[in-house]
Homo-oligomer: A and B are copies of this chain.
Amino acid sequence: MDSLIRTVRHFIRLSDEEEKVVAGLFTEVFLRPGEYFLEEGKICRSVAFVERGLVRYFMTQDGNEKTIYFSSEGEFVCNYSSYLPGKPSEVSIQAVEETVLYVISKDNLQRLYTDISMGERFGRLAIEQVFVSSIEQLRSLYTDTPTERYQQFLELYPGLVQRIPQYFIASYVGIKPQSLSRIRKRIAGGG
């Protein structure tokens, strides 16, 4: 739980008493590789914090999975486009590795906002950060070339290239695994 509390403290001050309240609002959840935090068509009703492991976000397009995002240790996981308006999700969120999540329900997150003295500020700052990152992700998804997408992947997820199967990275970049090998060789060659 230390890493979660540290992340909340990155945004706001917490008294020792409040730290216990925050810890009590989250539930530990284990996912094996391939298990889901959220499935397409269901409503996202909670937010998770990645204590250990790695998840990917994907959509189904013309029967194919299109990977759009990854989250690993120290990051919050949620499809806010489903969570905030309470609409069915167009995105699935699935564990890539064995993953330990701390999950908070919508009701408990409301409690965090109201029962912690700077809870509302935490909510505002956290959603502001997610906002900027989501807009940038969506823009990149639709306008960047495969090479730009791969370079962006390396910058955004510097430690993950060894942990994510090649076909998920290729899907994120928007190309076939063979084409990804060519891009990697070209970048390695400085071309």
Contacts and interface: CB of A to CB of B under 8 A. Distances in A.
Interface residues of A, number: 23
A32 interface: no
Copies in the complex: 2
B113 A121 contact: yes
A134 B132 contact: no
Contacts of A131: 80, 84, 127, 130-131, 134
26 contacts: A80-B128, A80-B131, A80-B132, A81-B132, A81-B135, A81-B136, A84-B128, A84-B132, A113-B121, A113-B124, A120-B120, A120-B121, A120-B124, A123-B124, A124-B124, A124-B127, A127-B127, A127-B128, A130-B131, A131-B131, A131-B134, A135-B135, A135-B138, A138-B138, A142-B142, A142-B143
A81 B133 CA distance: 9
A158 interface: no
A99 B135 CA distance: 28
Given A135-B135, A138-B142, 8 more contacts: A80-B131, A81-B132, A81-B136, A120-B120, A120-B123, A120-B124, A127-B128, A131-B131
Nearest to A81: B135
A190 interface: no
B134 A135 contact: yes
A139 B138 contact: yes
Nearest to A123: B124
Nearest to A126: B124
A85 interface: yes
Interface in A74-99: 80-81, 84-85
Nearest to A130: B131
What are the 9 A-B residue pairs with the smallest beta carbon separation, nearest first?
A: A120-B120, A142-B142, A124-B124, A123-B124, A120-B121, A138-B138, A131-B131, A81-B135, A84-B132
